[in-house]
Amino acid sequence: SCFIDADVRIAPGARIGPNVQLRGKTSIAAGAVIEGTAIIKDSHIAPSAIVKLGSHVEDASVGEGTTVGPFAHVRPGSKIGAHCRVGNFVETKNAILHDGAKASHLSYLGDATIGAGTNIGAELNRSMSGFDFKPLSEAWKSTLDGAAKVEENFVRDSTKTFKDWQSELTTIWKDGSQA
């Protein structure tokens, strides 16, 4: 059985699995798949998106052809673009993932903007509110050649995973200490 609030809208052709909860002003577009035990509240799920087993989506939007989960948590304020991947045990909060961005597993993306096509590596804890980045070293500027840049709270269009070059960045906490 499923729990579906009166204000939920489900388009013809959407598939809803067992033990799903659809709450509040949620809308599920045609061709979307909501797998068992998912909980979706006050959110929009676009056409052909898949919300996998055990995932939670609240006050957020999931773009066309995007896959969420299993066991992902898309928290309020998150906007996940088209053809993205928010994988197993990934959590977002107030994050924007532009089209084609991927965070495949074991990551936290809070108050972040992730550029189109960016691939976030495993075990990244990217909470933008607590720190700023120093400028990239000259070597990295030439290596990246404009393909990826970190500018304050923005990771943009990278062909490398953030984890690949994370060690090259020195982080300065607001209190002046270095991580």
Catalytic residues: 105
Rounded to whole angstroms, how far apart are CA atoms 95 and 121? 16
The residue type found at 142 is S
Largest CA distance in the chain: 58
Non-local (6+) Cβ contacts of 147 within 8 A are: 157, 158, 159, 160
Residue 89, SS3 per DSSP: coil
Question: What single letter denotes the amino acid at residue 99?
Answer: D
3-class state of residue 73 by DSSP: strand
Q: 156 phi and psi, to 5 degrees?
A: -130, 130
d(CA 166, CA 171): 10
Enumerate helices (H) and strands (E) in the chain, giving the number of each.
2, 26
* Cα–Cα distance measured from residue 58 to residue 77, given in angstroms and rounded to the nearest whole number: 8
